[in-house]
Amino acid sequence: MLHRGIFLTRLLKSEIIAKCRHVGHKMFKKYLLLTNVGISMSLSGAGDVFQQHYEIAQGDKQKWDSTRTAHMSISGLTVGVLCHYWYIYLDSRIPGRTFKAVTKKVLADQIICSPISISLIFVTLGILERADVKTVVDEIVQKGWRLYVAEWVIWPPAQVINFYMLPTRFRVLYDNTISLGYDIYTSYVKHEIPLEGDKVE
């Protein structure tokens, strides 16, 4: 036990740990916006890659569409920017970690930020795909509600932990860690569920 304690003490004082702390300080303080955007882009893209490989395994696709993944990553960028500033704003308007404060934050997040975030995904993808305004609006109305219902299942309990336990700078990282499965579902809803009136081949 003594040797193990000495080893741990030396490890915690080592140059590697010092460098990790330095990198962590830069990522989650000095360059927090870039960190949050990078995480959101990466995991949105990863969610689409998983979904596409599932479609390939099911025989629904022949090969991976890199353009589609790039577009999903860019939608992650826009949502990452939104969430970065939203959490800063929310924590400034509703400070504290009391039951009342956390409940208000969860409700505000679900009622205000979630619909905006979902709409932003479809608007971003619509611009990238050069879709007309009607198509984008139809997707928000017809597909967005599926994502919104899913959010009410996933996010309220997850956000209780987020708002109660974590400092603001770790909120987007936590969100994206939880939301990888949701990102896969987002890719499915966006690309596999046809709009009403569309012909299903």
Residue 6 falls inside a structural domain: no
Q: What is the pLDDT of residue 19?
A: 56
Q: What is the SS3 assignment for 129?
A: coil
Residue 9 falls inside a structural domain: no
Residue 8 falls inside a structural domain: no
Domain residues for the domain of 126 are 15-192
Structure pTM? 0.79
Q: Could you give the number of structural domains in the chain? A: 1
What confidence tier does 22 reach under pLDDT thresholds 50, 70, 90?
very low
Rounded to whole angstroms, the Cα distance separating 83 from 171 reads 9
Q: What is the pLDDT of residue 74?
A: 96
Q: What is the SS3 assignment for 96?
A: coil
Is the predicted pLDDT of residue 6 greater than 70, yes or no?
no
Q: What is the pLDDT of residue 95?
A: 92
Burial of 131 (0-12, 13-18, 19+ CB in 10 A): middle
Residue 39 falls inside a structural domain: yes
Residue 198 falls inside a structural domain: no
Enter the DSSP assignment of 29: I
Q: Which pLDDT tens digit goes with each residue over 67-117?
A: 999 999 999 999 999 999 999 999 999 999 999 999 999 999 999 999 999
Q: What is the pLDDT of residue 8?
A: 46
Is the backbone of residue 59 left (phi > 0), alpha (psi -120 to 50) or beta? left
Residue 116 falls inside a structural domain: yes
Residue 82 falls inside a structural domain: yes
Chain length of the chain: 201
Q: Which pLDDT tens digit goes with each residue over 150-174?
A: 889 888 999 999 999 988 888 888 8
Enter the DSSP assignment of 195: P
Q: Which pLDDT tens digit goes with each residue over 115-132?
A: 999 999 999 999 999 999
CA distances from 193 to 19, 81, 198 (A): 46, 27, 10
Residue 138 falls inside a structural domain: yes
CA-based R_g, the chain, Å: 20
Helices (runs of H) and strands (runs of E) counted in the chain: 10, 0
